[in-house]
């Protein structure tokens, strides 16, 4: 990043409160394109305009992309991982989860395609490393770049996360991780095949447990509600504020009351169908392949097909259909128990009924009759 520039006034030029959402976004897109085309930069620099705070503020990022980046080294993961779940999301961390890379540039220190003639990039400044340790009161910098925040969600939304969405995610992943863990402990080959998958699934699972614990331990929902009460009192103190902002909190309450159960149902569907049952995740990729043909034409279809085949070849090398079948049976039992009418319709009930309402028998029938668990046949 060369520099970051606040371009809110330029992006929102001409935007008014009475515009429709479509007209507003169309004008914003035009203004963003104008900013990208006219902002001062060098020819080797790029410009990206990003919205912040749901489109209330816009920043232009002037960047330089270096195309020759080389791996210097990485420690063995075993220096920080000793088996089972790691200390991810827990402080203090003990992990070796880092790598060292070096940027290479042309002789003029500008971006260049990979070449033996390139030389290490020379920055304007670098942070020196001190071996003297730290003392109380020393300057401390947390280095990072935030992607998104839920800090400004209303209390009713935080309540749904803490008591609906996150518990559903945790419950679903609990089940899969339990099945995988048992298989990994009893079969060294499965342990190798599923180590990365286990870590990936456990990543969110552990974070959400911490989210729920933190939200309840700090009374985050209660604090949000007290803050909103203060906001409502302030708005009510002036008629013009009441007319303009008085509807916000009641509308939030009404809309989230309608959306809350749908969000939990959507979470259960996504977690079960596209995240925890591997064969069904493959089905979702194939559905996207069909939709690519319908919506984007043969050229886009061919490109996605080639990428998908390449992915699936690697996927099936580390896939155990008998293990996935066990996950299917257990997860679908949970899906039926907790999904309700929002997720379980007559069509899916008829499939279970055909298997005598036995989830394990249904799983066996699905995995015997489908190509999804059979990588060689599917890719033939």
Kind of pairing between the strands at 3-6 and 119-120: unpaired
Question: Any idea where the domains of the chain sit in the sequence?
Answer: 3-63, 66-127, 155-379
* Token code pair at residue 300: 């886009």
DSSP, residue by residue, 331-364: HHHHHHHHHHHHH--HHHHHHHHHTTT-HHHHHH
Q: Could you tell me how far CA 276 lies from the centroid of its own chain?
A: 15
Q: Angle at Cα 55 formed by Cα 252 and Cα 150, nearest 5°?
A: 55
Question: Tens-digit pLDDT profile for the chain (380 aa)?
Answer: 999 999 999 999 999 989 999 999 999 999 999 999 999 999 999 999 999 988 999 999 999 999 999 999 999 877 877 666 666 777 777 777 789 999 999 999 999 999 999 999 999 999 888 898 889 999 887 777 667 778 889 999 999 999 999 999 999 999 999 999 999 999 999 999 999 999 899 999 999 999 999 999 999 999 999 999 999 999 999 999 999 999 999 999 999 999 999 999 999 999 999 999 999 999 999 999 999 999 999 999 999 999 999 999 999 999 999 999 999 999 999 999 998 888 898 999 999 999 999 999 999 999 999 999 999 999 98
Could you tell me the pTM of the whole model? Answer: 0.79
């Amino acid at each position: 990043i060369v520099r970051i520039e606040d371009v809110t006034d330029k992006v929102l030029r001409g935007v008014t409160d009475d515009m429709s959402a479509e007209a507003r976004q169309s004008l914003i897109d035009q203004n963003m394109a104008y900013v990208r085309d006219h902002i001062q930069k060098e020819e080797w620099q790029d410009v990206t305009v990003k919205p912040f705070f749901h489109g209330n503020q816009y920043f232009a990022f002037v960047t330089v992309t270096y195309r020759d980046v080389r791996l210097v080294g990485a420690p063995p993961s075993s220096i920080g991982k000793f088996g089972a779940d790691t200390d991810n999301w827990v402080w203090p961390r003990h992990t070796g989860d880092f790598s060292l890379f070096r940027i290479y540039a042309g002789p003029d220190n500008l971006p260049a395609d990979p070449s033996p003639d390139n030389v290490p990039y020379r920055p304007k400044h670098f942070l020196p490393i001190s071996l003297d340790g730290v003392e109380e009161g020393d300057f401390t910098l947390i280095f990072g770049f935030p992607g998104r925040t839920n800090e400004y969600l209303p209390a009713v939304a935080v309540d749904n996360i803490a008591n609906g969405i996150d518990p559903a995610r945790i419950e679903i992943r609990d089940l899969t991780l339990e099945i995988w863990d048992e298989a990994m402990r009893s079969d060294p080959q499965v342990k190798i095949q599923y180590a990365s998958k286990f870590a990936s699934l456990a990543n969110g699972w552990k974070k959400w447990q911490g989210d729920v614990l933190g939200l309840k331990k700090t009374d985050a929902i209660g604090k949000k509600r007290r803050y909103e009460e203060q906001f409502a009192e302030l708005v009510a103190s002036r008629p013009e504020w009441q007319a303009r902002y008085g509807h916000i909190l009641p509308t939030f309450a009404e809309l989230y009351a309608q959306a809350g159960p749908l969000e939990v149902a959507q979470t259960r569907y996504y977690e079960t169908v596209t995240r925890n049952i591997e064969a069904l995740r493959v089905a979702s990729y194939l559905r996207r392949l069909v939709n690519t043909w319908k919506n984007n034409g043969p050229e886009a279809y061919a490109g996605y097909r080639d990428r998908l085949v390449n992915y699936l070849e690697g996927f099936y090398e580390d896939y155990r259909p008998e293990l996935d079948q066990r996950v299917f049976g257990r997860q679908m039992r949970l899906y039926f128990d907790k999904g309700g009418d929002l997720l379980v319709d007559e069509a899916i009930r008829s499939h279970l009924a055909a298997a005598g309402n036995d989830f394990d028998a249904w799983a066996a029938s699905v995995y015997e009759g489908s190509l999804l668990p059979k990588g060689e046949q599917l890719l033939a």
